[in-house]
Amino acid sequence: MKQKSIAVVGAAETTKMGKIPDVSVIGLHADAALNALADCGLKPKDIDGVATAGISPVDLAHYMGITPTYADGTSVGGCSFMLHVRHAAAAINEGLCNTVLITHGESGRSRVGAGGFGRAASSLAGQFEMPYGPMGPPTMFTVPVLRYLKARGYTVEDLAMVAVIQREWAAKNPRASFKDPITVEDVLKADMIAWPFTKLMCCLVTDGGGALILTSAERAKDFPQKPVYILGTGESVETPMVSQMEDFTSSKAFRVSGKKAFDEAGIKHADVDHLMIYDAFAHLPLYGLEDLGFCKPGEAAGFINGRNTAIGGKLPLNTNGGGLSYMHSGMYGMYALQESVRQMRGIAPAQVPGAKISIAHGVGGMFAASGTVIFSNGAP
Amino acid sequence: MPPRMLPEPTPETRHFWEGCKAGELRLQRCTECDGGSYFPPRAFCPKCGSRKVEDYAASGKGVLWSYVINMRPRPDMGTEPYAIAVVKLAEGPQMMTNVVGCPQTPEALQLDMPVQVSFAKQTDDISLPLFEPAKG
């Protein structure tokens, strides 16, 4: 895409976050959408493109009273919203529509109006993974990690440190679920979920949602909020089964998506002021730092232990507290995007002073998919 | 305890499950390119797209590649923690499995330890390919 041709003009999360037992899944989508519309001063009738995952874009359009000329139902897991941003940018540039609403809402904790998980026994995962006892992401996303630790020379303490530093960020965020400081020892002593992963190395399970509104950069100047421009995007997918990941020490989808986004944006790693790496589990930021090229293989743990990603560090990472401490409804990618937008607007609770370029990098499924969006707050 | 979650074979995978029933771990390979063995089963080579593929009985040998120990057993898996493992087969492909015949502990489950297939009959139709520490 053409750099800075598209901007985020509206962005908001649900009114409440964490435990929301009185709102259904589609209600969370709508609450976030209404907040994002208010953020940019638009009404549903002003929207002519819709994108969402979890529910169908048909559900969203009908519920909101929108008659779109563009609908994207790409659903590849928690990074779907990064792909929606990318596709919306292409669609607006191609003239398919002018203003796209992207929503997420999930009743991950309260399960109000939520569907079930599950894979058919005849699917490939149903035949070649489920018979061996996996029980959701904590027992699947984590499967490659022992191999990764051995190959890199990392330890479980390195995994724990990821959670410790993100908790420091969460302490600055009033909306974060967990704000109390923790130590590496606390993380290692927490309940063992799937060895070597303790509960504090696993994401939260919460309710919430978020929405974004995108339009052309030309129109963006006319909106009340500071526009956040899209500098580059990437996406890729690898495998629906974590056991079939080509390399247990590196995500091919991360590498392909990240490179594409950097190439489009025409930036160097040193240009990046702020980074979000979807952290469903504590190993994701380590893989992300390596696969996006911020660290050489084997150097990511030392980079985090050296406080480079912590408050005051040279590459602030997961500044909302992340999926480990802020919130995680199931498809967390929307919240990574929201934090990037806040940082670019200069209004984040843990604002990185003078940040000009932010990256939101997402994962979908268990290393199944990936999407990357590079934002800038500099005018085109 | 509810019955164990079992696979439902499709036309493209039936040879694999028939093999397990007969005590053979059947992989597939391409006869047109040298893409090597592949898994899970499909009717074409994932490297070159050729439909000219054959299935064959693999060695059943491999090494323990990675795993987690699930401390909250799925109801159909019993009440004790168990390892959800990935084995790297001698022929190249990786497959998810359980490691049986040894304690489900980090001490007993060492990465790269040699393992061999052991079929566990579940029903008249389905035997699951599990792995145990290699003998000798």
Alpha-carbon gap, residue A141 to A369, rounded angstroms? 12
**A50 has a pLDDT exceeding 80:** yes
The token pair that represents A236 in the structure block:
């890729």
Per-residue pLDDT of A314-350, as tens digits, reads 999 999 999 999 999 999 999 999 999 999 999 999 9
SS3 B105: coil
- The arithmetic mean of pLDDT across residues A58-78, rounded, is 96
* Mean per-residue pLDDT over chain A, rounded: 96
Q: Please, where are the H alpha helices in B25-117?
A: none
Alpha-carbon gap, residue A277 to A148, rounded angstroms? 18
For A132, the closest of B40, B84, B94 (CB atoms) is: B84
Calculate how close chain B gets to A332, using CA atoms only, in Å: 23
**A179 has a pLDDT exceeding 90:** yes
Residue from A331, A354, A348, A344 nearest A379 by CA: A344
Residues of chain B positioned with their CB less than 8 A from the CB of A195: 68-69, 71, 81, 106
Length, in residues, of chain A: 380
Residue from B108, B106, B84, B111 nearest B97 by CA: B84
The token pair that represents A219 in the structure block:
């129109």
Per-residue pLDDT of A37-47, as tens digits, reads 999 999 999 99
**B88 has a pLDDT exceeding 70:** yes
Alpha-carbon gap, residue B105 to A52, rounded angstroms? 42
Q: How confident is the model at residue A1 (pLDDT cuts 50, 70, 90)?
A: confident
For A192, the closest of B8, B67, B71 (CB atoms) is: B71
User: Any CB–CB contact under 8 A between A153 and chain B?
Assistant: no
**Is A159 a member of any domain?**
no
ipTM: 0.93
Mutate to test the interface with A, among B71, B97, B131 (most CBs of A within 10 A): B71
Q: How confident is the model at residue A117 (pLDDT cuts 50, 70, 90)?
A: low
For B7, the closest of A131, A140, A144 (CB atoms) is: A131
Mark yes or no for CB contact B65/A194 under 8 Å: no
User: Any CB–CB contact under 8 A between A145 and chain B?
Assistant: yes
- The arithmetic mean of pLDDT across residues A116-139, rounded, is 88
pLDDT at A118: 63
Mark yes or no for CB contact A127/B7 under 8 Å: yes
The token pair that represents A32 in the structure block:
């976030």
Per-residue pLDDT of A250-293, as tens digits, reads 999 999 999 999 999 999 999 999 999 999 999 999 999 999 99
DSSP summary character for residue A9: E
pLDDT at A120: 83
Calculate how close chain A gets to B104, using CA atoms only, in Å: 11
Q: How confident is the model at residue B95 (pLDDT cuts 50, 70, 90)?
A: very high
**B128 has a pLDDT exceeding 70:** yes
For A57, the domain range is 6-113+204-376
**Angular region, A312: left φ>0, alpha ψ -120 to 50, beta rest:** left
Alpha-carbon gap, residue A320 to A274, rounded angstroms? 11
Alpha-carbon gap, residue A303 to A339, rounded angstroms? 22
pLDDT at A116: 61
For B71, the closest of A132, A195, A241 (CB atoms) is: A195
Is there a contact between A173 and A321 (Cβ–Cβ < 8 Å)?
yes
How many Cα neighbours within 13 Å face the side chain of A264?
Answer: 26
DSSP A324-369: HHT---S-THHHHHHHHHHHHHT--TT--TT--EEEEEEEETTTTE
User: Any CB–CB contact under 8 A between A132 and chain B?
Assistant: yes
Is there a contact between B116 and B61 (Cβ–Cβ < 8 Å)?
yes
**Is A360 a member of any domain?**
yes
Residue of A nearest to B38 (CA): A244
**Is A136 a member of any domain?**
no
Per-residue pLDDT of A132-162, as tens digits, reads 999 999 999 999 999 999 999 999 999 999 9
Alpha-carbon gap, residue A318 to A349, rounded angstroms? 12
SS3 B126: coil
Residue of B nearest to A125 (CA): B7
For B40, the closest of A124, A134, A191 (CB atoms) is: A124
**A216 has a pLDDT exceeding 90:** yes
Is there a contact between A177 and A204 (Cβ–Cβ < 8 Å)?
yes
pLDDT at A71: 98
Q: Which residues contact A117 (CB under 8 A, 6 or more apart)?
A: A136
Residue of B nearest to A143 (CA): B67
SS3 content of chain B, % helix, strand, coil (to 5): 10, 35, 55
Strand partners, B64: B87
Residue of A nearest to B100 (CA): A132
Residue from A155, A158, A160 nearest A184 by CA: A160
The domain that holds A27 is classified in CATH as 3.40.47.10
User: Any CB–CB contact under 8 A between A150 and chain B?
Assistant: yes
Q: Which residues contact A16 (CB under 8 A, 6 or more apart)?
A: A23, A207, A208
Number of folded domains in chain A?
Answer: 1
**B42 has a pLDDT exceeding 90:** yes
Is there a contact between B96 and B84 (Cβ–Cβ < 8 Å)?
yes
Is there a contact between A303 and A294 (Cβ–Cβ < 8 Å)?
yes
The residue to which tokens 């168990």 are assigned: B82
Per-residue pLDDT of A352-365, as tens digits, reads 999 999 999 999 99
pLDDT at B35: 78
CA distances from B121 to A37, B26, B134 (A): 58, 16, 20
Query: CB atoms < 10 A from the CB of B135, how many?
Result: 7
Q: Are strands B53-57 and B26-30 parallel, antiparallel or unpaired?
A: antiparallel
Q: Are strands B82-89 and A197-198 parallel, antiparallel or unpaired?
A: unpaired
Residue from B73, B28, B22, B36 nearest B53 by CA: B28
